[in-house]
């Protein structure tokens, strides 16, 4: 048996160097050309074949010594429009973004580094396993759209039939050295919305002559707060938040319009998300009718599903952590109310998304994702890469036949689901 953790530790210097390169050169969604070029360069160094998928990202592949299952490994590559400070929570950073106003504040730099390290090791050991490993480096995960081009390539152009998929996400609240595997949905589904309500403005002294979009929104918002209790089963988690609200700028004038935006998140589309989405639209229409207003949906795509962890893949992942890292490395999993495009991939292929711990308060690592203080303990990446490798080798060795029902939804509709 390969001592995977020890083998990855031997490569710790390169693993850290990969992460720091990506962190210092972040690129926003759909603009990750230099990031993909660097990934391609490293794959060439490792002797791994790859193909750039226009608008989607990069697909690479490694064939083992004989036929077998085909496993898809996925990493996202985009950064966020956040200005990074010189310090994390309490310490000077070990590396910092060189692109003003752009930052790897969600850990995708770590995801790329771990997947490249897994690729390097799998290529080196390819005479010890059967099957094919396909590596997907996904553009624009924060905006969802580019995944369509990658999945369309895999589904209609590639020579492979994907049997299972794997991804990991670093997590700010799990200690470095720990890995978590959820038995249920590890990450939420949800939908975003931006709505404009149009009424008829007027002087503040004569609200009877106006059709106030503010009054209309007030009625809508009150009913939405009640909807959580009325439409969602008590054991289901669902959040509904307004993050933006704009209307008027004069104290004695009733405005003509109001625009609001926000998000809804849930862990079950079937039991909570679908009905909440439908009721949202009904309540909005009723409020506008009551207040003689009109509305325009500026943004409200069909909800993104929650990430699905397949029980067979979960069992393989848990055993891999215990086998290759140690039972004490496996920690309890609390589902995360953030959303992930791996939700779409895991609807097409059975798979698992694990969490890689990167918290270390002594190093100032523990700020939430999407904040200027976010940072990761690079030592945690060793365990994430080792888990990925352990899962891959054990899955390819076991060759499980996994019962799985793909959705009837056409690919173009499935990938249009978004936040």
Rounded Cα distance, 407 and 47, in Å: 36
Give the chain's domains with CATH numbers. 4-184+308-414 (3.40.630.10), 188-299 (3.30.70.360)
**pLDDT band of 391, cuts 50, 70, 90:** very high
For the segment 171-221, what is each residue's pLDDT rounded down to a tens digit?
999 999 999 999 999 999 999 999 999 999 999 999 999 999 999 999 999
Tokens 């603009």 correspond to: 31
Beta strands, E only, 154-273: 164-175, 179-181, 187-198, 202-203, 238-246, 253-254, 257-266
Contact 393, 129 (CB under 8 A): yes
Give the confidence band of 337 by pLDDT, cuts at 50, 70, 90.
Answer: very high
Q: Quick one: what percent of the chain has pLDDT higher than 90?
A: 97
Confidence at residue 333, expressed as pLDDT on a 0 to 100 scale: 87
Region 88-112 average pLDDT: 98
Among candidate residues 252, 253, 260, the one with its CA nearest the CA of residue 288: 260
pLDDT tens profile 140-178: 999 888 999 999 999 999 999 999 999 999 999 999 999
The first and second tokens of residue 91, run together, are 């310490």
pLDDT at 418 over 90: no
| Average of per-residue pLDDT across 81-107 | 97
* Over residues 82-89, mean pLDDT: 96
Report the sign of the C-alpha dihedral through residues 274, 277, 280, 286, in that order: negative
Express each pLDDT in 339-353 by its tens digit: 999 999 999 999 999
Mean pLDDT, range 297-314, rounded to an integer: 97
Contacts of 410 by beta carbon, 8 Å cutoff, 6+ apart:
none
- Is residue 255 over pLDDT 90? yes
pLDDT tens digit string along 18-77? 999 999 999 999 999 999 999 999 999 999 999 999 999 999 999 999 999 999 999 999
Tokens of 403: 């019962």
For the chain, the average pLDDT equals 97
**Which structure tokens are listed for 250?**
């004069």
Q: Is residue 106 predicted with pLDDT exceeding 90? A: yes
Neighbouring residues of 155: CB distance < 8 A, sequence distance ≥ 6: 348, 411
């Amino acid at each position: 048996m390969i001592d995977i953790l020890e083998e990855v530790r031997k490569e710790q210097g390169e693993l850290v160097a990969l992460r720091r390169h990506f962190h210092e050169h972040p690129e926003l969604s759909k603009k990750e050309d230099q990031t993909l070029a660097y990934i391609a360069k490293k794959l060439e160094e490792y002797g791994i074949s790859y193909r750039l998928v226009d608008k989607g990202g990069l697909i690479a592949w490694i064939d083992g010594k004989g036929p077998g299952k085909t496993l898809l490994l996925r990493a996202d590559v985009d950064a966020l429009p956040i200005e990074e400070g010189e310090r994390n929570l309490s310490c000077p950073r070990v590396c910092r973004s060189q692109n003003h106003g752009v930052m790897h504040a969600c850990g995708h730099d770590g995801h790329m580094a771990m997947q490249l390290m897994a690729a390097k090791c799998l290529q080196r050991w390819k005479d010890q396993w059967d099957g094919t490993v396909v590596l997907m480096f996904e553009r624009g995960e924060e905006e969802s759209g580019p995944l369509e081009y990658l999945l369309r390539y895999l589904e209609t152009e590639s020579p492979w039939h994907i049997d299972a998929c794997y991804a990991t996400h670093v997590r700010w609240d799990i200690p470095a050295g720990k890995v978590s595997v959820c038995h249920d949905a590890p990450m939420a589904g949800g939908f975003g919305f931006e709505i404009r309500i149009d009424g008829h403005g007027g002087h503040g002294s004569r609200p009877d002559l106006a059709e106030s979009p503010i009054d209309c929104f007030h009625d809508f918002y009150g009913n939405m707060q009640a909807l959580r209790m009325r439409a969602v089963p008590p054991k289901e988690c669902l959040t509904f938040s307004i993050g933006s609200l704009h209307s008027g700028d004069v104290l004695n004038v009733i405005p003509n319009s109001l625009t609001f935006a926000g998000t809804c998140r849930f862990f079950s589309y079937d039991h909570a998300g679908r009905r909440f989405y439908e009721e949202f639209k009904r309540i909005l229409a009723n409020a506008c009718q009551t207040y003689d207003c009109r509305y325009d949906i500026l943004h409200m795509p069909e909800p993104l599903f929650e990430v699905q962890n397949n029980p067979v893949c979960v069992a393989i992942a848990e055993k891999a952590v215990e086998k290759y890292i140690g039972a004490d490395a496996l920690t309890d999993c609390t589902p995360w109310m953030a959303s992930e495009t791996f939700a779409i991939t895991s609807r097409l292929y059975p798979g698992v998304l694990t969490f890689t711990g990167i918290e270390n308060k002594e190093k100032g690592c523990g700020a939430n994702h999407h904040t200027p203080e976010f940072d990761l303990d690079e030592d945690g990446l060793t365990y994430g890469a080792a888990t990925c490798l352990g899962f891959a080798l054990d899955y390819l060795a076991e060759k499980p036949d996994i019962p799985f029902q793909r959705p009837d939804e056409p690919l173009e509709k499935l990938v249009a689901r978004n936040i």
